[in-house]
Chain A
């Protein structure tokens, strides 16, 4: 296990360097300048700005300077468009916002999606299946930018339960965006759970368990669920990272100062340090949750283990 974790750590480092390099190359290749604006900047000012941000140096030097700052100082540098902040400060401020909304949303999605999926699989092609599956689909069938304004109009403006937009209001502003975000993931989780459970329920050991006289509930939740959740675990690795790193659409509609919004703004403004920083943050999240997902899968599925009884039979 220790060897597995160590080799994964090393691989993760390689991946992060790869991510950094890919963003670097893409930003250098893409046309447009962060300093281009409505007013033309005088040439000597542009020169000063470029040298201030180190953009006048050769590409390999720029590449290495940024990378070594990450590797040795965990420092993302200074953004090109947001004066008075460092990249680290912006991320430290916006990631908790996205992570809170995403975390609550994910819990909501898991808490509703898994039961709906299991129920639908147990009632395959009967009315219960159709009702549960349809419920799960609500969040998938409409774009978030339609659901979110409707939710604001109904729950915030008509019923007055939540603040419509913003972050500083004491009325728990994170609930409504969390639910809207979770609604979307709920559909996927229910679908994947249903598919995995149907696959599991067709296995021979389920028939064995049933023929031995175990109760249906026990077979469903103890024997089948463990196998049936495997596809979901594999899906949840990247999905968790995505949901925690913030949804641009949800953050825009609800006016949340989250990471998703900064990422898209940075890409639009060609703000390379900020974009690199937010994508590296996202990358760390993806790596971590993929790692977690692999460990959980290994633990849940004996077939993935090399040695032991399963291999010797």
Chain B
């Protein structure tokens, strides 16, 4: 049987109530936020710049692997320290390697360090801080004293120990940075939850008999998203900076591989004779961090559930 001919003659039950149907469907927080973010012109420009930089690094790296662009780690001792334009678009470094492809590959390393370590630290920090703030009392005290102990461990110490154990390893770099950076997030989320849990909507959730987990992760955590997003987007550039500091100490990405941090370090060592080695990596690094920060601000404004819908 063909059911199709029947349907047009029947009245559509939903058609009479368009307004109500719209209200019931509503818009999700994410969609709402995206609509608001689109109105923030600078944040959108920054988003596209970031997408562009990532795409450039990816395509450049692929072209280099395909052999169209020079290899990033191949030495040409007869062509060392060439200024930009002379055969190499952005010049060459002390070992005659093409700076441009090194920036592309370095960018991929820096971005992945930034993103993975930030995700790890955000996840740990939010869960830890929310639970500590919500449970309160003695559990909170013990959890926050553990944070205090870890706070007093300078990051460098942890990295030195980890690296001397396992050799320098990119995965360990992610983990070490992620494992250290969550502390501030935990403190921020805990502070927010402490203040939020006294508000009426939490009381309402408790009196409706919701479980503690549901209250923490469905009611409290979404309300901390503003500060969490701001701090997360502060964390991505902070992690990328940290990676640069490790390069300064000689403990970051190991040669011949490069990250933006190692490239800037190499450039800073030679800034008096070959300035381009400092300028190009620093410029793309600064633009990236700048955009990440502005995008974070835009996201913050967009994600705040209380901000006006205009």
Contacts and interface: CB of A to CB of B under 8 A. Distances in A.
Interface of A: 11, 14-15, 18-19, 22-23, 26, 29-32, 124-125, 130, 133-134, 137, 140-146, 149, 187-188, 191-192, 194-195, 198-199, 202-203, 230-231, 234-235, 237-238, 241, 248-249, 263-264, 267-268, 275, 279-280, 282-283, 286-287, 290, 297, 301, 303-304, 310-311
Closest 6 CB pairs of A and B: A283-B152, A141-B286, A18-B149, A141-B289, A202-B306, A143-B244
Among A23, A142, A235, max chain B CB count under 10 A is at A142
Nearest to B163: A30
Given A279-B154, A287-B148, A29 B161 contact: yes
11 contacts: A30-B160, A31-B165, A32-B164, A137-B289, A143-B245, A146-B268, A146-B278, A191-B230, A230-B191, A234-B191, A283-B149
B102 interface: no
Contacts of B90: none
B154 A234 contact: no
A124 to B, nearest CB: 7
A133 B42 CA distance: 12
Contact of B153 (A22, A130, A140, A149): A22
B145 A143 contact: no
A304 B194 contact: yes
Given A15-B148, A125-B40, A264-B249, A191 B161 contact: no
Contact of A30 (B152, B156, B165): B165
Interface in B269-290: 271, 278, 282, 285-287, 289-290
B294 A133 contact: yes
A234 B151 CA distance: 14
A268 B164 CA distance: 10
Given A199-B304, A290-B148, A304 B264 contact: no
B111 to A, nearest CB: 16
Contact of B152 (A140, A267, A279, A303): A279
B97 interface: no
Contacts of B42: 125, 130
- Classify the secondary structure of A's interface with B: helix
Given A11-B141, A22-B153, A145 B300 contact: no
Given A192-B230, A195-B227, A235-B188, 7 more contacts: A26-B161, A31-B165, A130-B42, A141-B293, A146-B282, A279-B153, A303-B198
A22 B152 CA distance: 10
A30 B164 contact: yes
A287 B227 CA distance: 23
B27 to A, nearest CB: 19
Contacts of B194: 304
A301 B195 contact: yes
Size bracket, chain B contacts: 35 or more
A40 to B, nearest CB: 20
Contacts, number: 157
B107 interface: no
Given A15-B149, A198-B301, A282 B241 contact: no
Given A140-B241, A149-B268, A238 B151 contact: yes
A133 B291 CA distance: 11
Given A137-B293, A191-B297, A198-B304, A143 B149 contact: no
A141 B290 contact: yes
Contact of B241 (A15, A143, A311): A143
A89 to B, nearest CB: 21
Contacts of A187: 293
B130 to A, nearest CB: 15
Given A140-B241, A140-B289, A198-B304, A279 B157 contact: yes
B227 A31 contact: no
A149 B278 CA distance: 12
Nearest to B146: A18
A142 B286 contact: yes
A145 B297 contact: no
B37 to A, nearest CB: 11
Interface string B230-245: 1000100100010011
B60 interface: no
Given A137-B290, A279-B157, A287-B148, A195 B300 contact: yes
Contact of B271 (A149, A198, A199, A241): A149
A14 B145 contact: yes
Among B152, B199, B289, max chain A CB count under 10 A is at B152
Contacts of A18: 145-146, 149
A238 B184 contact: yes
B28 to A, nearest CB: 20
A311 B129 CA distance: 23
Contacts of A249: 245, 248
B71 to A, nearest CB: 27
A279 B151 CA distance: 10
